Structure 1
Amino acid sequence: MTDAEGAFDYIVIGGGSAGCLMANRLSADPANRVLLLEAGKADTYLWIHIPVGYLYCIGNPRADWMYKTEPDRGLNGRSLLYPRGKTLGGCSSINGMIYMRGQARDYDNWAALTGEPEWNWENSLNDFKAHEDHYKLDDGADPATGDNGRFSDMHGHGGEWRIEKQRLRWDVLDSFAEAAEAQGIARTDDFNSGDNAGVGYFDVNQRSGWRWNTSKAFLRPVKDRPNLTIWTEAHVEKLTLSKGDDGALLCTGARVHRAGEARHVTARKEVILSAGAVNSPQVLQLSGIGPAQLLQEHGIEVALDQPFVGENLQDHLQIRAVFKVKGTQTMNTLANTLVGKAKIGLEYLFKRSGPMSMSPSQLGAFTRSDPSRSHANLEYHVQPLSLEAFGEDLHDFPAMTVSVCNLNPTSRGHVRIASGNFRDAPKITPNYLDTADDRKVAADSLRQVREIMAQPAMAAYAPEEFKPGVQYQSDDDLARLAGDIASTIFHPVGTVKMGRADDPTAVLDPHLRVKGVAGLRVVDASVMPEITSGNTNSPTIMIAEKAAGWILSDQ
């Protein structure tokens, strides 16, 4: 590679949920030469595209970084699998496909924490809509009035990011929705209007029964642009930094390992780090940007002592309550026979519907853990199946799982390099259930699950609590049991947080530029100062849309 071949205007590190959109938007101007670096392979693996294929992608090195957390005190010493997408499309290639923005209050809070009004709900909504292709607007405007009603106010059409209804339903889930309604959780036909309180089926990022990831959405239509270069299996060792005459740090590119060769690539304008909430802090730390003591322990020269790189880790912990049921079909009974499996396969083959089109969770609900809460702080993921742990076989009895997570956890963890070798996985320490408030919400949420399952709408199924077990009643018992049965719902954020210029805990300024380093921006879920009240994939894409606008405007 010549020097000219290795020089680009923009280098985007990470071809995931944010990086694919960034590469698309930055290369739209033919004058910009853009390089996208992805450590994983192209998204050609069949199971990436069949919705139920997440079962074969998570825990598979073909598509997953295969991370595990450190043993966690809040989980009674357990360590969890911590899936992160390692392929084009990143986590959008292996996630649950649920389209969820969160709540308006999340974005208004970001605006307050950063001092940048562009982060508020009204302005962020425009960025969501900019790339949406929402099924509620497929039929166009009312020919008589030219009006699409409230959906056109809330959603976009014709963009790259496809949103569709799920292509299945289950009697036991419909009954759970009735039970939730009796409990006081109103029905909703749209979780994404700014207040997601309610119960209903999730909308999903699919197109005609196939997974719709960000690689399909944002990369494939533009992959032949002559000014866009995409390197897969390109692992970034570290950023390259230099100092100006005034001593100021400048990011000039990256050192990349690809096809058995290490090479330097140079960015004339900016490097955009979009490697995710685990890998972005890892890359920064390996490059000498992070807590000085940590870097020195691993023999890394300190370029910028920034103690909060890798801190502020937040995640949604999902508590999985399992109930045996009678008199209805569940996935446990359907998928545990050869005839049932054949029916599932044939339905998907001919209709692109049924269980093979399923997201991991089909029915959702948002509500408060207790009346004193000012907003919905719980999210339910309800499934017509059960198993001991993710990736294991379904139980051999009919059952359903009612998973519930605390949307606004107060516990904070961290991501820290384990060595100075870029190939070594970082240490991930979520510190789940580390605060009294998180333990109280866990106990209250399990009680609420029991109350919903006791409603008359569920009586026909004679639900019997299998996990955690009715013998556990006290706050301490339920919090301890939550530690035994809870698992991540794969929403890590916050490890390279943005904030005001005078906020010492903020690694980034409100426009996502790394404080103290020119030419370097971080654009992914790691920038969130506080986690959104719902699934985090589409908010990450919105962040990239907003950042791309800022970068092009700065240009």
Structure 2
Amino acid sequence: MTLPDSPVSPRAAQTIAAATATLSAFIIVLRYLYGRNAPYPAIVTDPTKVAKRISGKEDEYDFNEYDVIILGGGTAGCVLASRLSEDPSLRVLLLEAGNSAMKNPFAIIPLSYSLMFHTKHEWDLWTVPQRKAGSVQKYWPRAKLLGGCSCLNAMIFHAGAPEDYNEWALLQKGHEGALQWSYRELLPYLRKFEKYHPSPEFPEVDPAQRGNAGPVDVGYFGWVAPGTRKFIEACANVGIPAVPDVNTPKGSMGVTKGRRVTSEYAYLTPEVLARPNLKVVTGAHVTRILFDTSGPITRAVGAEFTQPNGEKFRVKARKEVVLSAGAVHTPQILMLSGVGPADHLKSLDIPVVADLPGVGSNLMDHVVVDLNYRDRTGNSLAFLRGRTLKHKLKLVRAIWEYKFRKTGPLTSNVAEAIAFVRSDDPKLFPPSEFPPEKTPEDTSSGPGAPDIELFFTPVGYKMHTGDNMPPGEYFGLHGVLLSGHTAAPTYAIGEKAADLIKAALAKA
């Protein structure tokens, strides 16, 4: 068979080969440099050191015991493991299905997180066909790493609107402890985890309104595309005010500019992992919670987990089992353990421990409309995929700039600027064009809180996986039905939960 002549000249072919070889060498160097971390005694890859292998009947062995077992080492799980093990009298065990992200360059370099999509580092989840979204299945990235989705998100720090937290308290309808979840009560925890770094580019941000001693570094560290600044200017032109800080008690309305710090990096530090009372097991896929139903009150007393090779293990909790496995796996583990809608559990031959019909129901995600435009400035982030010689050379330069200067396009978080607005703002949505009687009432946001997010990306994409645009340079404008982002509230809830558990254990 005769192959067609190559459209690339021999000289260009040599250049492409050299660029490709250089890129490969850089990636090898990155993996080497980020893989030299010293081992920590708390991180355990051999579960026989902390748990008992199941080899016969369930009552033929003794449990390995801990005071507190945390199921799931995601954003909140790492917070809990760190804070609870501050008490040297508590033996704490953290179980995580994934591995540590500390040696993973794609979980370290801010821009590269999408390169973990559809890999062993995430769960590769897809929804069922969405009847009101073209009946298509939607990809739902969920990290399978210590640190959870703090390794795989867009690194947006957004505390959220005070009104939304107050809605949490109101939804509990006066139940005991409801007011503890109001904004006023959670504000100290929002500041507890944060270490804000002031920026000379944003002198209007008041550091007194921010946390300054927490483990999570927050600041304006990332690369800013020229189009990002144009987006902020355009927002001001249509009536969305530029706000220096949307993370204070004043609220979230306005437009602002948004680095990755994972919860593993922030909370499972070498000092924390050196604690003799903390163990972290990676590759531990929790399959169920163990309950004691012999007494008048059913109690969670342990957990069962498997290793990638299929071996099963069990551990026992003397005081607390904390389930912190995320929005998808928390209800799954509950149902596998017999907690959930009884009819559904019986149909799968799962013994019912508690009939709770709401478990596994009402999962919702925000609706997004993506608009993509040709970028004629040459500042798009499309070079990350390295499809052309020009892109490969830009990628090599960007890797060098990031590795040796910690600057450049690889520090972008993709969603570089965000505007929060309300759908009933008459300046943006004139009643003559959007009659109030024909506008559906939004019940998902508190009064005065935003219900629409607009954000700019210096790269275009059609789907969450990103690599699906025609050749060329693009930027994107995106509209989201969203009141706020969840990373910051999750850190705060982890901090508060740790204090609540400590108080309960002290009282007991």
Q: Give the TM-score taking structure 1 as reference length.
A: 0.71
Larger radius of gyration: 2
The alpha-carbon deviation at position 342 of structure 1 amounts to: 2.9
Q: Would the aligned equivalents of 1:134 and 1:163 in 2 still touch at CA under 8 Å?
A: yes
Q: Counterpart amino acid of 1:362?
A: E
Q: Would the aligned equivalents of 1:387 and 1:395 in 2 still touch at CA under 8 Å?
A: no
Question: Aligned pair 1:294/2:344, yes or no?
Answer: yes
Q: Would the aligned equivalents of 1:332 and 1:396 in 2 still touch at CA under 8 Å?
A: no
Post-superposition CA distance 1:261-312 (Å, at most 9, x none): 3122111111000000100000000000000111011111111110001122
Q: Counterpart amino acid of 1:128?
A: L
Given the alignment, which residue of 178, 185, 191 partners 1:129?
191
Q: Counterpart amino acid of 1:268?
A: R
Post-superposition CA distance 1:110-142 (Å, at most 9, x none): 11122311111111110111111111299xxxx
Q: Would the aligned equivalents of 2:252 and 2:449 in 1 still touch at CA under 8 Å?
A: no
Question: Aligned pair 1:172/2:227, yes or no?
Answer: yes
Q: Which residue of 2 aligns with 1:453?
A: none
Q: Which residue of 1 aligns with 2:498?
A: 548
Q: Which residue of 2 aligns with 1:311?
A: 361
Q: Which residue of 2 aligns with 1:218?
A: 267
Question: Aligned pair 1:376/2:438, yes or no?
Answer: no
The alpha-carbon deviation at position 352 of structure 1 amounts to: 1.3
Q: Would the aligned equivalents of 1:333 and 1:396 in 2 still touch at CA under 8 Å?
A: no
Q: Counterpart amino acid of 2:118?
A: G
Q: Would the aligned equivalents of 2:161 and 2:449 in 1 still touch at CA under 8 Å?
A: no
Q: Which residue of 2 aligns with 1:400?
A: 475
Given the alignment, which residue of 234, 242, 256 partners 1:200?
256
**Identity over aligned pairs, percent:** 33
The alpha-carbon deviation at position 240 of structure 1 amounts to: 0.6
Three-state SS of the structure 2 residue aligned to 1:177 is helix
Q: Would the aligned equivalents of 2:196 and 2:207 in 1 still touch at CA under 8 Å?
A: no
C-alpha distance in 1, partners of 2:377/2:80? 50
Given the alignment, which residue of 525, 529, 536 partners 2:486?
536
Where in structure 2 are the equivalents of 1:95-110 lying within 5 Å?
95-110=153-168
Three-state SS of the structure 2 residue aligned to 1:99 is coil
Where in structure 2 are the equivalents of 1:70-469 lying within 5 Å?
70-114=128-172, 115=174, 116-136=178-198, 151-194=206-249, 195-202=251-258, 206=259, 211-220=260-269, 221-246=271-296, 248-258=297-307, 260-327=310-377, 329-332=379-382, 336=388, 337=390, 338-371=392-425, 374-389=448-463, 390-392=465-467, 395-407=470-482
Q: Would the aligned equivalents of 1:295 and 1:301 in 2 still touch at CA under 8 Å?
A: yes
Q: Which residue of 1 aligns with 2:39?
A: none
Root-mean-square deviation (Å): 2.2
Three-state SS of the structure 2 residue aligned to 1:279 is helix
Report the CA distance shift for 1:311/1:260 in structure 2 as closer, same or farther (over 3 A).
closer
Q: Would the aligned equivalents of 1:386 and 1:395 in 2 still touch at CA under 8 Å?
A: no
Where in structure 2 are the equivalents of 1:508-523 lying within 5 Å?
none
Gaps of 5+ in 2: 1-50, 53-60, 427-441, 443-447
C-alpha distance in 2, partners of 1:332/1:56? 13
The alpha-carbon deviation at position 245 of structure 1 amounts to: 3.3
Three-state SS of the structure 2 residue aligned to 1:163 is strand
Report the CA distance shift for 1:223/1:137 in structure 2 as closer, same or farther (over 3 A).
farther
C-alpha distance in 2, partners of 1:52/1:150? 25
Q: Give the TM-score taking structure 2 as reference length.
A: 0.77
Three-state SS of the structure 2 residue aligned to 1:181 is helix
Q: Which residue of 2 aligns with 1:457?
A: none
C-alpha distance in 2, partners of 1:324/1:331? 12
Report the CA distance shift for 1:269/1:149 in structure 2 as closer, same or farther (over 3 A).
farther
Equivalences, count = 412
Q: Which residue of 2 aligns with 1:493?
A: none
C-alpha distance in 1, partners of 2:322/2:449? 35
Three-state SS of the structure 1 residue aligned to 2:167 is helix
Q: Which residue of 2 aligns with 1:519?
A: none
The alpha-carbon deviation at position 379 of structure 1 amounts to: 0.9
Q: Counterpart amino acid of 1:241?
A: F
Post-superposition CA distance 1:444-472 (Å, at most 9, x none): xxxxxxxxxxxxxxxxxxxxxxxxxxxxx
The alpha-carbon deviation at position 387 of structure 1 amounts to: 2.9
Q: Would the aligned equivalents of 1:253 and 1:264 in 2 still touch at CA under 8 Å?
A: yes
The alpha-carbon deviation at position 333 of structure 1 amounts to: 7.0
Q: Would the aligned equivalents of 1:172 and 1:328 in 2 still touch at CA under 8 Å?
A: no
Gaps of 5+ in 1: 139-147, 408-532
C-alpha distance in 1, partners of 2:337/2:454? 40
Report the CA distance shift for 1:106/1:19 in structure 2 as closer, same or farther (over 3 A).
same
Post-superposition CA distance 1:377-398 (Å, at most 9, x none): 1112211111333231554333
C-alpha distance in 1, partners of 2:324/2:466? 28
C-alpha distance in 2, partners of 1:245/1:330? 63
Q: Would the aligned equivalents of 1:98 and 1:535 in 2 still touch at CA under 8 Å?
A: yes
Three-state SS of the structure 1 residue aligned to 2:268 is helix
Three-state SS of the structure 1 residue aligned to 2:369 is strand
C-alpha distance in 2, partners of 1:188/1:547? 31
Q: Would the aligned equivalents of 2:223 and 2:410 in 1 still touch at CA under 8 Å?
A: no
